[in-house]
Amino acid sequence: MSGTAPKSRNNTAVNSNEAITEENRNEENAELSTGIFDQIRHDAVYRKNIINTICLYSSFVAMSFAKGPVGPSFLDLQAISGVGLEGGSSFFTTLYIGYMLSAIVSGYLFDKFKRSLLLSVVKFILACTTIAIPWCSLYWLMIMAFFFLGAMVGATDAIANVEVQRIWGKNGKPFMQGLQFMYSFGISVAPLVAIVFMNTPPNVEMENALEQLNETTLESNSFIRNETVSLQNRSSQARNDSLSSEETTFVRSPDLYKAFIIGGAVSLFVCAMQLTFYFVFDRRHKTTQRETLTTTPAKSRLPLSLQVQAILHMAGIQALLTGIDDTWIAFLTVFCVKMFDWTKAQGALLTSVSSFVAVAGRFIAIFLVQLISPIKLVGFHSILTLAVFIGLYISVLHNSSMGMWIVSLGFGYAKAPILACVFSWTDEVFLPVTGRIASIFLVFCTASSASNPLILGVLMDNYSNMWFCYLFLAESILLVLVVGSALLLTRRVKATYGTNYESRRAETRVTQVLLET
């Protein structure tokens, strides 16, 4: 008798688990077969998640409109604060500092406050900062404004990426791609608002102004890109022209403040959206069992050594790609002018088209990640990146302008889905994506974006312009090696520990069985 009782309990537990598994399968199949609009009407949890995602997408658009006018209006901001190139460059250094510090701090605040309330505060400060920038006639005020601009952008970047992944869990792949698409689209369109209110500088050639506008509208996934391009443009102009005379005669645009007011108004509108969401949903929200399963990240089931390896691999992939992308945008026009005798306008057009291909690539990835796993996409696109830079080297050897166009368009597509896929990969296999994990990723990306253009600049100035090819080829090889190592680590983790999603579902099943017995 004593031997049959435990067997009976075990059989009961097994049957309960099988029933729960079947029930979960039925729920998933029902969700797949139900239309999106039907789910929005009849499923309160799904409706809340959709509204929250729209608010997060809007936060990224507001972030783009806040910092989009900064690059095209750089000369105006120098004139407003009464400084030259050296003083103006410190604006962007302050942006780096604010971005990195806020990315770290927001990672710790993420789990201590309601994210909707936290983002509403961030958007309010961002709106005030954006509106204040064109009125900062004192240098120290402009420095403070740029610090807060960088800090609020960094906080938005860290919080929104994590929140989208937290909301959707294993179903978050297309939503993560959608978030990056909104950012790329916004940062490409936002500077066009600034140009409407800008006067053409009297002592600057129209070709240089067009190049400046195009290059500063090219940012696709990283905050540092806009600032790196602006710094590179100004450094190149300082070496080739007498910038001091231009600064003294430059007349600032009297209506420029309207562009910043529009950016601030967008941030205020998003602030109102986040506050409304907080009071309607978060403040009185009661978590259901199904919502807990899909949105609450469990603690990592991996030992510390594997956690460190996973973070270093994932952060390394993002840092390598971001560094390559930022440096490519900053130096492509210069390289084409020096190696192919192109005009600056031709180089800027090539860079601009490459950036918009990246926007299209991210839009395609929204649908593609529902058919192909993010792990396979990262592997394929990293190999495609290597193939692109092999093509770059061959094109330069044969002095092929057509080859440069093919390479540029190819890289625009190759880089498109990787950053968002890394978040999905991390959350699925290694670690739940928390605010701290996102902060680590962003710090790695910021350091790479800030240092890589400086390294290439030194190599091209002191050795050869061919280092434009050599450095990208070496870094793309390293990217493939890191991705390959991450794939091996993924296979090891899956074989020994399973995936995060399997672990979370198993914990929920055990809890349900214990409650029923």
Token readout for 470 is: 């050599």
Find tokens 């900053």 and name the residue: 330
Q: Give CA–CA dist 414/322, Å, rounded.
A: 12
What is the reported pLDDT for 497? 85
CA angle, residues 278, 279, 281, in degrees to nearest 5: 65
* HSE toward the beta carbon, residue 67, CA cutoff 13 A: 37
What is the reported pLDDT for 390? 96
Q: Give CA–CA dist 140/489, Å, rounded.
A: 48
Q: Give CA–CA dist 505/229, Å, rounded.
A: 45
What is the reported pLDDT for 258? 87
What is the reported pLDDT for 393? 93
What is the reported pLDDT for 392? 94
Token readout for 474 is: 């070496």
Segments of the chain scoring below 50 in pLDDT? 1-2, 4-33, 200-210, 212-249, 289-290, 292-293, 295-298, 506-516
What is the reported pLDDT for 484? 96
* HSE toward the beta carbon, residue 100, CA cutoff 13 A: 15
What is the reported pLDDT for 504? 54
What is the reported pLDDT for 10? 44
What is the reported pLDDT for 247? 41
CA distances in angstroms from 256 to 64, 132, 175, 217, listed in the order given: 17, 12, 35, 17
CA distances in angstroms from 14 to 11, 111, 501, 513, listed in the order given: 5, 35, 20, 9
Residue type, 265: A
Find tokens 């299209």 and name the residue: 360
pLDDT tens digit string along 473-512? 999 999 999 999 999 999 999 888 887 766 555 444 444 4
What is the reported pLDDT for 122? 92
Among 302, 307, 288, 306, residue whose Cα is nearest residue 508: 288
Other CB atoms within 10 A of residue 511 CB = 13
> pTM of the full predicted structure?
0.74
Q: Give CA–CA dist 357/111, Å, rounded.
A: 36
What is the reported pLDDT for 326? 82
Contact 274, 123 (CB under 8 A): yes
Q: Is 403 helix (H, G, I), strand (E, B) or coil?
A: helix
CA 398 to chain centroid: 35
